[in-house]
Amino acid sequence: MNATVGTATMPLRVGTRRSALARAQAHGVASQLLALGTNPELIEVTTDGDRSAAAVAEMGGTGVFVTALRDQLLAREVDVAVHSLKDLPTAPATGLVVAAVPPREDARDVIVSRDNQALDELPAGARIGTGSPRRTAQLRALRPDLDVVAVRGNVDTRLGLVDRGEIDAVVVAYAGLARLGRLDAVTEILDVDRMLPAPGQGALAVECRADDSAVVEVLSHLDHAATRAAVTAERAVLFTLRAGCTAPVGAYAVANDGSARSPDLTLDAVVAGSSGAVIRMSATGPSDAAEQLGRDLATELLAAGAADLLAGERM
């Protein structure tokens, strides 16, 4: 496809947060847009989440990393915004559309430890850092003898805490390290049967104005159907639970081979409390009913007591 306006290559102003990871993600999208015949230009935007050193939940949680980018879109200061999909509120934004969900990076979490010790090898009382209530709750369920401490900051900041010995290990996303070329730091990849990632983790959302049909058409060429179906199911769990992106909720869907004998999506979800209580369930269903699959699984979680767990975490 050669996306052009008249005889000129289509210019596209691509909005991104200023962090190294956000810029790396936006550069990847811009490279794909360039290959489609457009002329992308990165525009850096500072969000509320970038200005504050407070925990995300203390800043209001959902939306702190995306609102400024969305404002720039609506103000027509940028044409496209690139988000980490896990940061995107589940409710639709008036006037905007997620026109592309590109192929997903590995969604799993990883351990980075000072002495190259895997999670099961860390000694009792070891200090392990995370800024995520989801990770905190699942870590405490797996290793209640560890000291889980709150940390905040970009990837380099978190890894630096380990390097300086301020903490013994940290949990971060594989996808972020991969996009920054830092996979050499990984001690252990945590399989999803042990720790479920955040809904949408590892995926990107490429958003634009809903009425900008030319940009919507261009971005449609970046969309990956299997990834979109998976994250749609995961986010439907979060939406139905009425939980935000900082809630102790994990969800992960994977497309299978699509054969007639098996459904297209397998979805796992967990609600975990800081006390170590965990409710985890799974479901399978066709990818063309991904949203309903997520809603149904969330309804089962609620019936099993997830609402009480989530209420306890909000107190």
For the four alpha carbons of 174, 93, 249 and 233, in that order, the dihedral sign comes to: negative
**Residue recorded with tokens 């749609």:** 232
* SS3 state at 145: coil
Using CA of residue 287, residue 291, residue 296, residue 300, what is the dihedral sign? positive
Catalytically annotated residue among 50, 79, 87, 106: 87
In order of 20, 165, 257, 298, the CA distances from 131 in angstroms are 18, 18, 35, 24
* Contact (Cβ atoms closer than 8 angstroms) between residue 155 and residue 131: no
Backbone angles phi, psi at 158, to 5 degrees: -70, -45
- Is residue 87 among the annotated active site residues? yes
| HSE, side-chain direction, 13 A CA sphere, residue 283 | 23
- The answer to whether residues 117 and 187 touch, using CB atoms and an 8 Å cutoff, is yes
The Cα–Cα gap between 74 and 78 comes to 8
292: which residues sit within 8 A by CB, 6+ positions away? 236, 285
Residues acting as catalytic residues: 87
